[in-house]
Homo-oligomer: A and B are copies of this chain.
Amino acid sequence: MKYSVLLILTLCLGCQQTARKDISSAADLYPQDFLQQVEKLRDMALTDDTAYQLIESLTTEVGPRLGGSPADAAAVTWAMDKFKSMDFDKISLEPVTFRRWVRGPETAEIIAPFPQPLKITALGRSMPTPKEGITGEIAHFATIEDLEAATDDQVQGKIVYISNKMLRKKDGSGYGPAVKARSMTAKVAAEKGGIGAIIRSIGTDSHRGPHTGATRYQEGESTLPVGALSNVDADLLDNVLKRNKPVTVRYTLGSDWGDEYTSYNVIGDIVGREKPDEYVIIGGHLDSWDLGTGAIDDASGCGITMATASLIKQHIGQPRRTIRVILWANEEYGLFGARAYHAAHQHEMNKHIIGAESDFGAGRIYALASRADVASMPVFEAMAELLKPLDIPYVGNKGYSGPDLIPMRRAGMAVAGLYQDGTSYFDYHHTPEDTLDKVIPADIAQNVAVWVVFTALAAEYAGDFGFGLSD
């Protein structure tokens, strides 16, 4: 996943208990036998491996699937085939066009005072270095704010290096403050006359695989080829810098922009029996970064939500309104799928009753939140009642969801947050270590159990969740 600045702001507001009106009981909203069916499916889902098998399949049979790569097309075919074999009612492809960004060879090394190699990876959207690389003295700043405050003299002719460390937090809130270095270092360094830009990986691990992730790049703006060192290599560079001698580094990044490419949002519908043209939107993004196999980011989200919709159809039957699973195209370097879907469905945004995305890894869910009209709070109370045996509380109406819902949320759609434990998420996020072994089958099954409760109740609810909500 990738956070936009707006999402980060939302993150900071999250998890607060909101005041709410007296609620009706779940029995007023849903027939008793429906609630019993959901309860039964919730329990069954806890030992069901449909989602895990989908994750295994996508990572094994497709693997890394960067937007615009050959594996992007393979992933689209995979998703179509899976939706078909899982008996979804309607499957559609919606085109998503973007300019490709392709990774190239990448190397880094300390030249002086102590020659040794460093592990680097290009940030997504970075321009390439010249073939022979960029060689220069390091200008070291602890944070992006320190770089912003620096004079041009401190930066001119140098390779800027930002060493800020991300903090480990259950809700991932260490990411927001740290990730600004990933977005902004190339731009700010270029503006001050720097010749190169390197950051410490935005991640909480101590591995040799650096974290990629998109950097800001807009035509007409100054920028520089920018890469991330692994946290271990950043530790090493920090220790070299502590010797207080000038430190010279060389790095090479071969990544570059390519031609236009059309991928697809792959959409699977379980069509509503009463309101087929109203949608509860769930899903994950189908693309991944290229370094790992995209198991936690975001085969997990795809598997969890595909399994959820399928299990509901199989064990409860057609919902009142349509459950739409969207497997988003190219989330990672620009939310292209999200923007294309919003553009194509703008005229019927108000038919998108509520949305949620699973894009925070493979950890267990620990809380449910909403961002919906207060009139719909009884629905969340009903969900919370069904989630009690899983120890998952409802934590209020200032919730957030995944990045692919940003355009629709801005347009006024209600969202739900099914918050996952992200304590170890940023150990693997956007690195070569994002692989199947990091996915624990029982944790994935717990996710599906929770998504079943949310999705079934949202799709069956006779009312709506409000529209035109402020962003």
List the interface of chain A (C-beta within 8 A of B): 56, 59-64, 70-71, 74, 113-117, 119, 206-209, 232, 235-236, 239-240, 292-293, 432-433, 435-438
Contacts and interface: CB of A to CB of B under 8 A. Distances in A.
B232 A114 contact: no
A252 B42 CA distance: 49
B432 A208 contact: yes
Contacts of A207: 207, 433
20 contacts: A61-B113, A62-B114, A63-B114, A63-B115, A63-B116, A63-B117, A64-B116, A74-B115, A116-B293, A207-B207, A208-B209, A208-B432, A208-B433, A208-B435, A232-B435, A235-B435, A235-B436, A236-B293, A236-B435, A239-B436
Contacts of A59: 236
A268 to B, nearest CB: 22
Contacts of A240: 60
A121 to B, nearest CB: 12
A51 B292 CA distance: 36
Given A60-B239, A240-B60, A437 B119 contact: no
A437 B236 CA distance: 9
Given A207-B433, A208-B435, A236 B60 contact: yes
Contacts of A60: 114, 236, 239-240
A116 B294 CA distance: 12
Contacts of A209: 208-209
Contacts of A114: 60-63
Contacts of A232: 433, 435-437
Contacts of A433: 207-208, 232
A71 to B, nearest CB: 7
Given A60-B114, A63-B117, A64-B117, 9 more contacts: A60-B240, A63-B114, A64-B116, A119-B432, A208-B209, A208-B292, A209-B209, A232-B436, A236-B436
